[in-house]
Structure 1
Amino acid sequence: MSRVDPIIFVIGCTGTGKSDLGVAIAKKYGGEVISVDSMQFYKGLDIATNKITVEEAEGIPHHMMSFLNPSEPSSYNVHQFRDTTLDVIQQIRSRSKIPILVGGTTYYAESILYENNFIDSKKRMSSESSSGENSEEEEEHKTNEELWEELRRVDEKSAMILHPNNRTRVYRALQIYRDTGIRKSEHVELQKSNESVDLPGRLRFDDSLVVYMDASPDVLEERLDGRVDKMIKMGLRNELIEFHEQHHEKLEDCKYGVMQCIGLKEFIPWLRLSSSERETSLGEKIFKKGCDDVKLHTRQYARRQRRWYRMRLLKRSDGDRRMASTKMLDTSDKTRILSDGMEIVDRWMSGTDLFEDIAMDTSPVLKGSEANAILKCEICEITISGKDNWEKHLGGKKHKHMVKKAREIQ
């Protein structure tokens, strides 16, 4: 039995070869690629965001890349992505091609994979509401803390699971309350009451395959570190300088979505230096610190991507709902990535449904407030998102050192 209207998701950790596999699938089965990497939506920063090159694409059309202006505030959201991408999927199918979604922004992939997965507020277009336009303009000048405090006043439950620096999500929760008159937390509770498990949403396309790509932590860490070195050789310095010269007036403000980009925000201290200062030993030291931060943040991002796979995708089979075929691809052996990946796709395309065995996964799953709780460590003076991260912080060397120091002072 072959698939009637297949759709394939190639998602997972950064540095696992998703782009190459997406192209290989498209070449064999006649497909077109849709990017699910939110940082690749922005124009420019091709090296920093690791956009696929013309040579690497091998003639395969790629959609949803380089269409947002980095100098515009971060008003683009997952709902707009979903609506546009669903239209692109229809266009691809009208050409008798297979849509292949490739990328690591799992939140956006989830919006296509499942229906009714997010709250839709009935927001009026700014052209229809001058008051709405004024409200948005006023909030552009508010700090992250001010926006978060405003959310806490109207929807404390939502505020307590959102980090103040997550400006986009904080603003989105406020927007939901203003546009619907109902708190986001109340929307979420209503969704949960209508579903068999903790996670809302049902499978959008019956013939869906998810290939989740990962590698052993040691291998992936080495690969990610090497990728940063490769980016430097490809001209990362010049790309950052040119980008900064064009958009520097906007880059100091966190409300611009491009400032969430790993590979840009880490180098802002270096970019603030004059051209001559960048060439000094101090400039080199600051640039190296940026490189180290990119490596650290990329590793942290990979861990979040793994958690999403286990908690938001794999655990969905804990119920009666129809599931997407799902298979994890271990890319630790670089020489086998394409052959092993294509073997998974070939089996599924021939009619075999594929599912991971979650019986072996005995690790606890944190849900709701536990998974996203915002906790503040008064000793270290930092805010931490999630009980899991909180426990890791308490057991970390830095916290223990600060506790010891505080006791000595007392």
Structure 2
Amino acid sequence: MVAFLTISFSCLQLRFLMLADNQFSGHIEEFPVVNDLELLDLSNNMIKGPVPSSFQFQNISSLSLFGNLFDGTFHLQKIQSLSKLKRLDLSYNNLSINTTNLSSNFDGFPQLVILNLASCNMYEFPYLGDQSSLLTLDLSNNHIGGDIPSWIWETGRGYLNLSFNLLTGLEKPHFVAIVEYLDLQSNKLLRPVLLFSIITSPNSSDSVIFLGNNQLTGVIPTSICNAFLIRVLDLSFNNLSGSIPSCLINKSFVSEVLNLRGNKISGVIPDQFPSKCSLETFDVSNNNLGGKVPKSLINCKNLEVLNVGNNNLDGRFPCMLPLKLHILVLRSNKFHGDLRCRRSWPNLQILYISSNNFSGNVSLLNFSSLRGIMLQESYTWNAFTGSIPNSLGELTELGSLDLSENKLTGRIPEDITKLFLSILNVSYNYNELT
């Protein structure tokens, strides 16, 4: 196998070598440098050992070693001489990336378009302040701590992933006009400024930004209202506090996915979703939100995932929700009342309404109209009464059913016993339930 690779590299006038998604293993021995090679893709194999020093192809534009077992230390300064390199992907190996000797004076460094260094055992940011062409940057799954440097936002990124690191704050940006406009005088307010400058970069329209699973603190600033459109914004599982800026909602700042899950955000969800709302996923679960599910969510015709679980929301079951819903999570709130709705959700696959104060006869919800439910259905810890409706037996693709901790009576319908359920929990109901 190694011999095959060595022979391939040594072929004269070889320009493109694509060996991705195979089961190549072993080491790659050093070989004479081949300057004609323009593209090398060895991703998703089982090649191990250090990255050969012979990978100094002067005409290389794309080098992808993603998803192998390469180990040792890779000094990022090695690519300095590869002036034509546009794409470098070393993600998900056993490598440790060394970023020393990278500075703003690093002359001749190639102008990259894609740089993926996910899970590369990095502890600090590589300096990329002069990378004006860089559209995709993935530094996720590393050990990078401290502040996100301001130079990261000086040029627009089509895809930015800094998730699963140890980031705690945001450096004061270079955009002096923005600082003066916000009139920020204390260190406590410096962190929100950068979040503002992240998304107000002139080239950030239609971007995808992942900052989840870090340790970011502070509030999401209201100045975000002046930002450009972002397709996906993930700030989940941080320590962000304060309220949800209304501009995130009424200006459709985020066009497809807004994920604020697992923070310390309080207040209410602004009832200002615009008539042309294009959101597909809205997740604010595991926060400290109160109030009601906004009625204006009906404007989000493409909404497929709504997760408001584990908050302090109240009100009745939100019957106005869009018909395209696939996943609806209302669990662990203070919702109350019965489940009487005039509409149905034929595409619904997952429904969680457990640990609320829903009551009334469980048959008021027309289960036969929810034929799409196929994975989970949880009605635990409520106060439903009456018998289990026969219409549940029509959910032929239902995977699990949990009706525990209610006040149900009567018999378990025979049609339910014919379903292929992995879980059936009807415990802690009235004794007549048999």
Larger Rg: 2
Higher strand share goes to which structure? Answer: 2
Is TM (by shorter chain) over 0.5? no
- Which TM-score band applies after superposition, normalised by the shorter structure? under 0.3
TM-score, L = length of structure 2: 0.20
TM superposition score normalised by structure 1: 0.21
Bigger relative contact order, structure 1 or 2 (CA pairs below 8 A, ≥6 apart):
1
